[in-house]
Amino acid sequence: MRDIFHDELDAINETLLRMSGLVREALTDATSSLLNADLQLAEKVIAADQIIDDIQHDLDNRTINLMARQQPVASDLRNLVSTLRISADLERMGDLAHHVAKTARMRFPNSAVPDLLKPIVTDMDRAAAAIGEKLSTVLQYRDTTRALELDKDDDAMDNLHRNLIAALLSDDWSFGIETAIDMTLLGRYYERFGDHAVSIANRVYFTVTGEHVPSE
């Protein structure tokens, strides 16, 4: 009975890992569609969000069924409850990639991002990709060292976000209000993507160690 439980928990964790790969890919593709005004790629990301939502839905059903059948207690139960939380964060990260792609689609055939800001958006995308990659390692190996690092990686994202806002506020800004609104929301989507990754990493840390992340 214990083996069935842990086999199924492993399978659930593998699905979380797969979701983390999908949301990372979604944001990379969404950024590419945004910077290159690539409508086809934007549509691909928008359509793929339903797949991520469906995986989460299925995963939650599997988790609840496993709870009902195996009646775990103590750390097994906490582990299983935490997968519900992690899948919700991953689903939300997928939504944020979807928002980026919708912005790309809305401004097509133009790019929502003026050339001047493309380097910052590229940097935010790279920071998100690095965060997403480390998050996959955290999920795969329950790596608490890397889980702790993610908080600092997210500080880098927050700095980029501040640079972006500073660029919008500079006296040189000549792209008008609509672009400022787009960039404000885009900046928030990348920032929130990082926040959700940190939230997942903190949860893995807690599940493994039984303690909250020190800086919290």
Question: Which residues contribute to the site for a copy of itself (CB under 8 A)?
Answer: 64, 67-68, 71, 73-74, 77-78, 81, 84-85, 88, 165, 168-169, 173, 177-178, 180-181, 184-185, 188
Work out how close the CB of 176 gets to a copy of itself at its nearest, in angstroms, rounded to a whole number: 9
Work out how close the CB of 137 gets to a copy of itself at its nearest, in angstroms, rounded to a whole number: 25
Q: Which is nearer to a copy of itself, 47 or 185 (CB)?
A: 185
- What is the identity of the amino acid at 87? S
Give whole-number Cα distances, 205 to 2, 27, 176, in Å: 23, 25, 44
Q: Which is nearer to a copy of itself, 64 or 140 (CB)?
A: 64
Are the beta carbons of 60 and 15 closer than 8 angstroms?
A: no
**How many other C-beta atoms can be found within 10 angstroms of the C-beta atom of residue 69?**
12
Burial category of 52 from C-beta neighbours within 10 Å (exposed 0-12, middle 13-18, buried 19 and up): buried
Q: Three-state secondary structure along 9-57?
A: HHHHHHHHHHHHHHHHHHHHHHHHHHHCCCHHHHHHHHHHHHHHHHHHH
Cα separation, 16 vs 189, in Å, equals 21
Work out how close the CB of 119 gets to a copy of itself at its nearest, in angstroms, rounded to a whole number: 20
Work out how close the CB of 145 gets to a copy of itself at its nearest, in angstroms, rounded to a whole number: 25
Q: Which is nearer to a copy of itself, 108 or 173 (CB)?
A: 173
Q: Which is nearer to a copy of itself, 47 or 145 (CB)?
A: 47
DSSP letter assigned to residue 213: -
**How many other C-beta atoms can be found within 10 angstroms of the C-beta atom of residue 40?**
8
User: What phi and psi values does residue 10 have, to the nearest 5 degrees?
Assistant: -60, -45
Q: Which is nearer to a copy of itself, 51 or 145 (CB)?
A: 51
Work out how close the CB of 181 gets to a copy of itself at its nearest, in angstroms, rounded to a whole number: 5
Q: Which is nearer to a copy of itself, 1 or 169 (CB)?
A: 169
Work out how close the CB of 174 gets to a copy of itself at its nearest, in angstroms, rounded to a whole number: 11
Structure tokens at 53: 């939502």
